[in-house]
Structure 1
Amino acid sequence: MKTRTITGVFFIIVMLASLLTGHYSFGAFYLLLGLFCQFEFYGLIKKSGYQPNYVAGLINGALIYIAFAYTANTHIVQPVLFLIPVTLSAVFIQELFKKSTTPFQNIAFTILGLMFTVMPFTFFHAMAYVNGDFNFHLPLGFFVMLWSNDTGAYLTGRAFGRTKLFERHSPKKTVEGFFGGLLIAALAGYILSIYYTEIEWKQWISMAILISCFGTLGDLVESMFKRSINVKDSGGILPGHGGLLDRFDGLLIAAPIVYSYLYFMAT
């Protein structure tokens, strides 16, 4: 428990520092985080018997993130975006030179790693620019509401949980815990609206609802993935917490949905 607490506090401090120290550190930190999650994903796939292309996958992951990060920052489509089809083709071409009995499974899992890990962090990064110039309020609020939902769901589920939410993939999650987490996240969203007025309180609460629903689904999807390859934790990089995918599973589906909502409805 002590190790878990120390690791959690330290990691939260680093994450907050990346948000508060400007757009360069913010962009670099979440680029590294996305690539570490992608590397962790490929490691899990390799344990299941397939051979994702680490090098081509990580290069494409970095290029996609950087290209969209510059586009979000400058609001101008960057020419580097047109390199992505070229670099993605390497994922297919390299399989021609590998002696593998599952070439298309390897290709599929390499590309899935991009979609499942790097792309969500790309959308999360773009939240800071959804209203124009860099502003850490929306990504910070996203994490506050995500953590509030997780904490509220855990405490409510432990105290009142009776009805299983999705027992096949996550035996401990309950319907009562889900709604408890949603209410706590909505309360956090309302409090955030008092201090951060870029969007209205109704939009903060809408964000909280989306984060609760799709963050929970992201957690369930990651649990499904781990059960399908028979592993308990996605990795061991965070002592007491498991892997990075374990810590950011709620972001993986929620971040693109929340960004889309903000882009179309709250700007």
Structure 2
Amino acid sequence: MNDLVQRTVTGCIYVALLIAGTAIHPVVFAVIFAAMLFFTQLEFYQLVENAGSSPRKHVGLTLGLLLFGTCFGMVHGFIPQNAFLIFIPVLTILFLFETFRDNSKEIQNSSVTLTGFVYVAVPFSLLNFIVYPDYPETPEFFPWILMGVFFIVWVYDSMAYLVGSMFGKHKINEKISPNKTWEGFTAGAIFALVMGVLNAVIFQEPDIINWIIIAVIVVAFGTLGDLFESKIKRKLNVKDSGSVLPGHGGLLDRLDSLLFVIPVIYVWLTFSGNL
């Protein structure tokens, strides 16, 4: 199959899956995004394993799913609002596990296990609060803010890729990501801002100022997230984080920008009174 056709087909399926997971029903949201959390976090652990580390994958993956489930239960009122605090002592105990392993890289192994949890599981878990913006007052499922964020990310990534591929000459950082150019970045940023304005019209809330700020966050932190994952792959001398998405690589390759964007958007929405 032609690479462009393969990339397009896979991309359409991926986008359809995210839209379905966001818009159909809270249970569908939980199933799809919990699954994506699991496989994205697993990809990260497999990457660092190839570099010689031995993360406690089962512990990290279990904790990641438990955090997502805890946040899901909190917004639905199934469990207390402060239930997430249990993860503070649990993560501390995680480091103690390494003292009982016959391994000379105890601190490194604990660190990469915790990194996978913070890098992947925390952003995915925060999605629960973004789709329930009135929590804890009203348990009303409102997925449109998250949908709008996805629209901005997809427009930014797509236009940056297209313009960078056709007209890009000035590299942002060739040592980290040789294909990313300032021309692509500029085009992506412009279209992201336009999409932010359109989101204000399509979804009505939050207001246009907030959508523009969200677009700026996507451009800034999405780029940093992309460069961060590119740096990891360059250090490990791998092209993709996986092969689950033909033509695109792995889930981590597609979600790297979102992993940096979601926590910052959550903080902004909270401080601005939209959550």
Question: Match of 2:245?
Answer: 238
Q: Does 1:34 align with 2:41?
A: no
Change (3 A) 1:167 1:266: farther
- SS of 2:185's equivalent in the other structure is helix
Q: Give the alignment of 1:1-267 within 5 angstroms.
A: 1=3, 2-74=5-77, 77-78=80-81, 80-132=83-135, 133-267=140-274
Unaligned segments of structure 1, at least 5 residues: none
- Amino-acid identity (%): 34
Q: Name the TM-score, length of structure 2 as normaliser.
A: 0.90
Runs of 4+ in structure 1 deviating by more than 3 angstroms, as ranges, are 72-80
Matches of 1:136 and 1:4 in 2, distance apart? 27
Q: Would you say how many aligned residue pairs link Structure 1 and Structure 2? A: 267
| Letter paired with 1:49 | G
Matches of 1:138 and 1:76 in 2, distance apart? 24
Matches of 1:139 and 1:74 in 2, distance apart? 21
Change (3 A) 1:195 1:14: same
Matches of 2:7 and 2:167 in 1, distance apart? 25
Matches of 1:179 and 1:262 in 2, distance apart? 25
Q: What's the offset of the Cα at 1:127?
A: 1.2
Q: What's the offset of the Cα at 1:86?
A: 4.5
The two structures, once aligned, show a CA RMSD in angstroms of 1.9
| Letter paired with 1:110 | T
Change (3 A) 1:117 1:17: same
| Letter paired with 2:193 | A
Unaligned segments of structure 2, at least 5 residues: none
Matches of 2:165 and 2:8 in 1, distance apart? 20
| Letter paired with 2:209 | K
Higher mean alpha-carbon deviation, 4-13 vs 182-191, is at 4-13
Q: Name the TM-score, length of structure 1 as normaliser.
A: 0.93
Higher mean alpha-carbon deviation, 26-35 vs 157-166, is at 157-166
- Contact 1:233–1:243 under 8 Å retained in 2: yes
Q: What's the offset of the Cα at 1:3?
A: 2.9
Change (3 A) 1:39 1:154: same
Change (3 A) 1:55 1:72: same
